[in-house]
Chain A
Amino acid sequence: EDQVTQSPEALRLQEGESSSLNCSYTVSGLRGLFWYRQDPGKGPEFLFTLYSAGEEKEKERLKATLTKKESFLHITAPKPEDSATYLCAVQAIGSSNTGKLIFGQGTTLQVKP
């Protein structure tokens, strides 16, 4: 069964303290892995798409990487405005999978000044 697990569930950092969020996945075949940011009371905001192992994407203080079994979201020198829940989702290959996203439970990041 296709599955996504994120760790840790919650992470507290001091401003400027770099860290990484993990997303482990098991799928029959990966069509794409997606990272989203979700603020309280809002919908998920798209950050990155990764399609193949070895691929990396960067945006400001965020960098996403992908291996055959997991993805990491690296946060360099975070600021309080980076506080949010980060969601990882995968899209699996298969005739019955027309594009549904399978989400992990998310990592809630709090960055203190």
Chain B
Amino acid sequence: DAGVTQSPTHLIKTRGQQVTLRCSPKSGHDTVSWYQQALGQGPQFIFQYYEEEERQRGNFPDRFSGHQFPNYSSELNVNALLLGDSALYLCASSRGTAYSNQPQHFGDGTRLSIL
């Protein structure tokens, strides 16, 4: 049973560039959430997708956008990259409606470095 998979594993970009990160949820899961984790900190919620719609958004600027596809996989896009965007980007999936309190299962993340 495959867990949450994310690609790429590592990515190096320069300021001002754009990046797309990808996530495939765990089998049977239909809800995908994205988090940003700075070094030494807990993950910070970016947004959540359910039924191909953004259901909730954290305190992140519009440079951060996403998409969910009919097969429940998801993308995170970040435009006009800043040095402060360097972090581990985590995707988590869960089952049920967007109001479910079922546990979220995480992938191993994409390590994004901005030069």
Residue pair B40, A100 in contact (C-beta under 8 Å): no
Given A98-B55, A106-B42, verify A43-B109 contact (CB < 8 Å): yes
Q: Does B71 touch A at the CB level, under 8 Å? A: no
Mask for B92-115, Cβ within 8 A of A = 1, else 0?
A: 101000111101111111000000
**List of 4 A-B pairs having minimum Cβ-Cβ separation, nearest first:** A103-B42, A43-B106, A98-B98, A100-B45
**Cβ contacts under 8 Å, A43 to chain B:** 4, 90, 106-109
How many A residues are at the interface, by size bracket? 20 to 34
In the complex with contacts A102-B45, A104-B42, A44-B90 CB distance below 8 A: yes
Which of B43, B48, B55, B107 is in CB contact (< 8 Å) with A103?
Answer: B43
In the complex the two chains form, is B45's CB within 8 Å of A42's CB? no
* B74 contacts partner chain A, Cβ-Cβ < 8 Å: no
Residues of A near B44 (CB, < 8 A) are: 103
Contact-residue bracket for chain B: 20 to 34
- Among A44, A51, A97, contact of B56 (Cβ-Cβ < 8 Å): A97
The answer to whether residues A99 and B106 also contact, given A91-B101, A105-B40, A105-B41 and a CB cut-off of 8 A, is no
Listed in ascending order, the chain A residues whose CB lies under 8 Å from chain B are 4, 31-32, 34, 36, 41-46, 49, 51, 87, 89, 91, 96-106
B86: CB under 8 A from chain A? Answer: no
Give the nearest-CB partner of A30 in chain B: B101
A46 in contact with B105 (CB, 8 Å): yes
Please give, as numbers and ranges, the residues of chain A lying within 8 Å of B31 by CB-CB distance.
Answer: 99
Contact residues in A for B4 (Cβ distance below 8 Å): 43
Q: Taking the complex as formed, is B28 at the interface, i.e. its CB lies under 8 A from any CB of chain A?
A: no
Cα A99 to Cα B104 with chains together (Å): 9
Q: Is B16 part of the binding interface, using a Cβ–Cβ cutoff of 8 Å?
A: no
Residue B33 is within 8 A (CB to CB) of chain A in the complex: yes
